[in-house]
Amino acid sequence: MSLFLFITIAIPFAIWLAWRGGPASGAPADSQSFREWASGEFETWQCRVSGGEAAVEILLPLMAVAFGLFVFGLVLHLYVPVPG
């Protein structure tokens, strides 16, 4: 329980620290839309890939885990008898 409470506090604190280290509020932001980013190039330590390909490579493992857990939950819900 203590670890859960520590993580509950540590994650928002880490996000706040990352946000605080961003550009100053008076500085012009280098913002671009997702469409512009996806059509550009993304440099990795191995090679350069398109932004869209980089987004797919980042999101695909997360989606695979989410889909696997959904199927696991669905099978568990359908095939495990309810006591009583």
Please, what is the average pLDDT of the chain? 85
Residue type, 61: P
pLDDT at 10 over 90: yes
The verdict on residue 13 lying in a domain is no
Secondary structure (3-state) at 72:
helix
Of the pLDDT bands very low, low, confident and very high (cuts 50, 70, 90), residue 83 is: confident
Q: Which domain holds residue 76?
A: 33-84
- What is the total count of domains within the chain? 1
Q: Return the biggest CA–CA distance within the chain.
A: 64
State the Cα–Cα distance between residues 83 and 71, nearest whole angstrom.
22
The average pLDDT across 9-17 equals 89
Assess if residue 4 is contained within a domain.
no
Angstrom distance (rounded) from CA 37 to CA 23: 19
Is 2 domain-assigned? no
Give the span between the Cα atoms of 74 and 82, in whole angstroms: 14
Q: Write down the pTM of the prediction.
A: 0.53
